[in-house]
Amino acid sequence: MGNASLEGLKIIEMTEAWAGPVCASLMGDMGADVIKVESFPRHSLTRPTSPRYATMPGDGPVYERDALHHQGNRNKRNIAIDIRTESGNQILKKLLSDADVFIEGYAAGKIEKLGFGWKDVQKINPNITMISIAGWGLEGPYKKMVTLGAGLDATTGHLSLRGYPEGDFVDTHPNFHSDATGSSTIFFAALTALLQRQKSKTGTFIDLSQWEGLVWQFPTILAEWTMNQRIPERLGNDDPHIVPHGVYRTIDDDKWIVVAAEDDQQWEGLCKIIDRIEWSEISHKYSSIVGRIKGREEIDNAIESFTKQYEGFNAAEILQNNNVIASPVVTPPDVLLSSQLHDRSWHQTITHKWTGPVMVGGFLWDVEPDSLSWDIPTALVGQHNEEILIELGYDEKKISEFYTNGSIGNHYEN
């Protein structure tokens, strides 16, 4: 049995990609009854119909074997509805009528057009909390713009910080940091609203701009400008105030190690290991951080001449044993080799109809006494249609009518 922290809460999630779905899974991890209302007949973004890099081997439809989709949709039930149809519209209304939280991830304005704006939802269920997670929020000049996480990364200024000092933006790998961090923000927002409901006895609408959810995480970008009229430079792995602080080569081709010594004590440990003990002696200029800052290149070279002799995990262990910050730059397969994660039983083995048993990554946190469990593997499209519709009071006849008129479904056309 899983964790029961959020037991009794009913969550309706109607989002795609990452931030929304992952948030809903986090709630499911903690015992909420999460129903994902999946797009139908259009396939969801994370359920491509033709194979891609993330497609797992196995039989069955490609859109049921996408690894990214699997990772973001555990612990939910699934109903696939075409809410543009009258019946679909009715089903969603019924779902919302006794739900606690409704998370929707359409572009701004879209949900109103579908008849499920806050004004409508409020009428259906005055106690519900509705969260819209459009990229730039629901109002303002950008409200009509559409984006994914990579665009938010660029417009918060984060993109300008990442990357090689000598490189250009075009070389910088896009990332989806807002998706990874957005899920926790939405989670926190939903629970805040629920706590408020205990006092106000009424539901709340939350306009959560994912851009705003990202921008607060990088105060230095703005502060460098407002405090010191400076545009922060790309520093790669350097820290202007810490030497050493970088990524170094190991004995293996394209395998790397991070090494940093944040204070004099760590530096002393590092000097011992790289056979430069004299560099930490009080008479040597590098014994002070002030001297080290001026000798970054020489120090980096000395460290690399050490790390190049070792395999990354081994070098990291030697350095850590001497109180130096060090870790291998792990590749995805390396994660499976981590004795630490295995010791904590972090990995989860999931059996899925089409992919068979798969070892996947675990939870974001460990809870006592009722620890988390992966009770519901990622559901198939419309896997719980019948179960949910019966709960809503529909009979089998009605359900088969819905299938026939296309307001629900359980597979996508390729």
Residues near other proteins, by CB under 8 A: 239-243, 262-265, 267-268, 280, 282, 287-291, 293
Q: Would you say 30 or 271 has its CB closer to other proteins?
A: 271
Q: Do 214 and 184 form a contact (C-beta atoms < 8 A)?
A: no
Least distance to other proteins, CB of residue 296, Å: 11
Element at 271 (helix H, strand E): helix 264-273
| 54 vs 293 by CB, closer to other proteins | 293
The letter for the amino acid at 169 is F
Residue 203 in tokens: 């539901």
* Strands 256-260 and 325-328, sheet pairing: antiparallel
Q: How far is the CB of 37 from other proteins (least distance, A)?
A: 48
In whole angstroms, how far apart are CA 327 and each of 236, 274, 349?
Answer: 17, 16, 26
* Shortest spacing between CB 163 and other proteins, in angstroms: 21
**Structural Rg of the chain based on CA atoms:** 25
Angle, to 10 degrees, between the axis of helix 396-405 and the axis of helix 86-97? 130
What's the closest the beta carbon of residue 292 comes to other proteins, in angstroms?
A: 8
Nearer to other proteins, 265 or 371 (CB): 265
Q: What is the smallest separation between the CB atom of 241 and other proteins, expressed in angstroms?
A: 4
Which token pair is 336? 């499976």
Q: 3-class DSSP state for residue 324?
A: coil
User: Considering beta carbons, is residue 126 or 240 the nearer one to other proteins?
Assistant: 240
Q: Which is nearer to other proteins, 224 or 391 (CB)?
A: 224
Q: Tell me how far, at minimum, the Cβ of 282 lies from other proteins, in Å.
A: 6
192 vs 220, beta carbon nearer other proteins: 220
Taking CA 180 as the corner, what is the angle to CA 349 and CA 336, rounded to the nearest 5 degrees? 30
Asked if omega into 369 is within 30° of 0 (cis), the reply is yes
Cβ proximity to other proteins: between 285 and 342 the closer is 285
Distance CA 159, CA 174 (A): 8
What the block records as the tokens of 49 is: 């119909």
- The sign of the CA dihedral 212, 213, 216, 217 is negative
Least Å distance between CB 234 and other proteins?
A: 17
Q: What is the DSSP string of 205-241?
A: EEE--HHHHHHTT-HHHHHHHHHH--PPPP-TT-BTT
- Identify the helix (H) or strand (E) that includes residue 97: helix 86-97
Nearer to other proteins, 46 or 280 (CB): 280
CB of 205 to other proteins, least distance (A): 43
